[in-house]
Structure 1
Amino acid sequence: MSAHNIAVIGGDGIGTEVVEAGVRVLEALAETQPGLSFTFKSFDWGSDYYRANGRMMPEDGLAQIAGFDAIYFGAVGDPNLPDDITLWGLRLAICQGFDQFANVRPTRLLPGLTGPLRPELGKQIDWVIVRENSEGEYAGVGGRAHRGLPIEVGMDVAVFTRAGIERIARFACELASSRPRKLLTVVTKSNAQRHGMVLWDEVVREVIHGYPDLTVDWMLVDAMTQRMVNKPGSIDTVLATNLHADILSDLAAALGGSLGIGSTANIDPSRHRPSMFEPIHGSAFDIMGKGIANPLGSFWTASLMLEHLGEPSSARALMQAIELVTSRREHLSPDLGGAANTAQVTDAVIAALRGDNR
């Protein structure tokens, strides 16, 4: 174990609230884990920063955070600013600037929680969705012309490169190989997208040949949604494009009980640059400042960050504390059917870390 320097970017809405709760939990965790320590530095980037400076983060923002071990990120988005400005100006600027091409989103139905599926189906959910995080439909290629005229046009071009597909397919195969079931589902839409997705299929098949121990199946993205609902136990590790995985992972979190528990790791597997870790729920301005945001997604995200930092025992300890709290059902936030506020959920997880069973 060692000291870890973490850049903290709360961003917008409830992002600041849940990340502050996450920092409290990590500090409490460090007190219980010999040799573990953190140094946190906060950056006030986001929509308020944009209103004051005309940018979501400083021009040299990437340089300011490049030397940190990891980035702990809250959310981005503001109802009074265009989404393309907020997203591209901060979150995607970091993901693409640091080539965090592997987005990893785990889903399980945590003890004590009840999702929308029948109990015998819900308990089968134990998935990891691997999302290609740098190209595809979110590559940013395209444009608009003839603005304001009847012939106005807007185009977004989905970009798929052999190199980009190869590296995310290899990442997904390695991850699937590390899990007990060694089962990988590849999501596609090559029946309708005749060029980029056909290349996706071809290159993924080439990579899979190098992993003979894996069991691999293929699903069209629309069929994958019904499989997640009707046959969750048939799924383990999922590989999908940027857009498809973005949608499927929100469905996964909802099936796991709430978007409020969803976690994400944006990984640079080369470790040349810091990776970024964030809950998936977004800025949720409708509940900002009410103190009722669910912080469990930020805690699960912190566990993913610990795994990436080479602290597996600390990551397990944090997840065990989260699961103890959910199993007791005494301190659940409103989105999970409870009445606890953010601070009470946070305090309960910290008490579980410290072994306080009162």
Structure 2
Amino acid sequence: MSYDIALIPGDGIGPTVVDAALPLLDDVATEHGFDIETTRYDWGTERYLDAGAMMPDDGLETLESHDAILLGAVGHPEVPDHVTLNGLLLPIRKGFDQSICKRPAVLFDGVDSPLKGYSGGDIDILVFRENTEGEYADIGGREHAGFENEVAVQSAVYTRRSTERIVRAAFEAATERSGHLTNVTKSNAQAHGMVFWDDIVDEVSEEYPDVEVERLLVDAASMDMVRRPDDFDVVVCSNLFGDILTDIGAIVTGSMGLAPSANIDPGRDHPSMFEPVHGSAFDIMGEGVANPLATVLSGSLMIDHLGEDAAAADLWDAVTEQLADDDAPRTPDLGGDSTTKTVASDLADRL
């Protein structure tokens, strides 16, 4: 069996972590009797600065034939973030109906949380973030620019189809885990979209009577993810709230460098996309010290999505074993002084 993967290393440390992770994916594929074929696309802000677009006009058509996409990072200090986001990430997520975003936040053995009293295994959160609409819907505009009466309108959009899909996916995960789901909204202030969301959670919950549902407003959820992160298991939320809460989850579990992400087309009509959460991190670009583990873990999620669950488990377990080993190399974000290549080489030995 051979899988055709599109590589978009992107910006900043993106190429560094993708190049470090790719040989590990090849190793585990070989061990389990399948092949990974890759095609590299140098799309990102360098292309934007040269050609005025993050990716070519036929970018989605080009990616369509691949089995999955592995992305490094997108973002550049000289280009506004809304340009990079709307030039690459959001067109792929929306164009390929990647409406389900899964982001694990795990406190691994051997990793220090900035929160007092937590150790390996105490925090294990899986966030289901709606990924194609909500607050990130590109509906709105600006009028009377430069005048005193200038106005900007940004509309959040929630459809029954996408809301039901993300909510049902979260309930399914909760049944396989601890049977606890936290629904995060802001329905006290957003009486249309967020109350609609709550109503759908109530409807779907009737299909899963064994799942306990906790309901939190996003401000309380943000506070509680710091105050009592061990009480969370599966979390479901809208696009913006998921974006914010998963950054909190990454930090309370030790580092943004350990946070993987999966952008899933639940209908499997298009390739799904896998990426680390940490961003382009231009402040350490070129220093060779970027943590590759979030990309490796994203690769594990990708391989699992492709149906190679044993290989995916081997990759995840190698990261878990390395982090639990006090003598293993660590990049500076985890308190060490090792390089990206050293960490990746150690993982290869463990595999």
CA apart distance, 1:122 = 6.1
| Aligned counterparts, 1:194-273, within 5 A | 194-273=191-270
1:124 corresponds in structure 2 to 122
For the 8 Å contact 1:121–1:231, the answer to whether it is kept is no
1:108 corresponds in structure 2 to 106
1:175 to 173, 176, 195: 173
* Cα deviations by residue, 1:246-287 (Å, 9 ceiling, x for unpaired): 000000000110011111000001100000000000011111
Partner Cα distance (1:199, 1:189) in 2 = 11
1:72 to 56, 64, 70: 70
Partner Cα distance (1:161, 1:235) in 2 = 26
* Cα deviations by residue, 1:176-218 (Å, 9 ceiling, x for unpaired): 1222x12111111101111111111111111111111211111
2:45 corresponds in structure 1 to 47
| Aligned counterparts, 1:1-358, within 5 A | 2-33=1-32, 35-120=33-118, 123-179=121-177, 181-329=178-326, 330-353=328-351
What root-mean-square deviation, in Å, do the aligned CA atoms of Structure 1 and Structure 2 show?
1.2
Q: Which amino acid aligns with 1:188?
A: T
Which secondary structure does the structure 1 equivalent of 2:70 belong to? Answer: strand
Which secondary structure does the structure 1 equivalent of 2:16 belong to? Answer: helix
Which secondary structure does the structure 2 equivalent of 1:158 belong to? Answer: strand
CA apart distance, 1:3 = 1.4
Structure 1 vs Structure 2: percent identity of aligned residues?
A: 47
Q: Which amino acid aligns with 2:132?
A: S
For the 8 Å contact 1:111–1:327, the answer to whether it is kept is yes
For the 8 Å contact 1:6–1:69, the answer to whether it is kept is yes
Partner Cα distance (2:43, 2:183) in 1 = 36
Which secondary structure does the structure 2 equivalent of 1:286 belong to? Answer: helix
Partner Cα distance (1:210, 1:37) in 2 = 40
For the 8 Å contact 2:109–2:121, the answer to whether it is kept is no
For the 8 Å contact 2:109–2:119, the answer to whether it is kept is no
Partner Cα distance (2:262, 2:307) in 1 = 14
Find runs of 4+ consecutive structure 1 residues off by over 4 angstroms. none
Alignment coverage as a number of residue pairs: 350
Which secondary structure does the structure 2 equivalent of 1:119 belong to? Answer: coil
* Cα deviations by residue, 1:137-178 (Å, 9 ceiling, x for unpaired): 001111111112222222211111222211111111112122
Partner Cα distance (1:296, 1:52) in 2 = 31
Partner Cα distance (1:6, 1:139) in 2 = 28
Partner Cα distance (1:42, 1:76) in 2 = 15
* Cα deviations by residue, 1:285-320 (Å, 9 ceiling, x for unpaired): 111111011100001101110110101111110011
Partner Cα distance (1:170, 1:323) in 2 = 29
TM-score when scaled to structure 2? 0.97
CA apart distance, 1:118 = 2.1
Q: Which runs of 5+ in 2 are unaligned?
A: none
Which secondary structure does the structure 1 equivalent of 2:202 belong to? Answer: helix
Q: Which amino acid aligns with 2:87?
A: G
For the 8 Å contact 1:122–1:232, the answer to whether it is kept is no
Partner Cα distance (2:338, 2:85) in 1 = 30
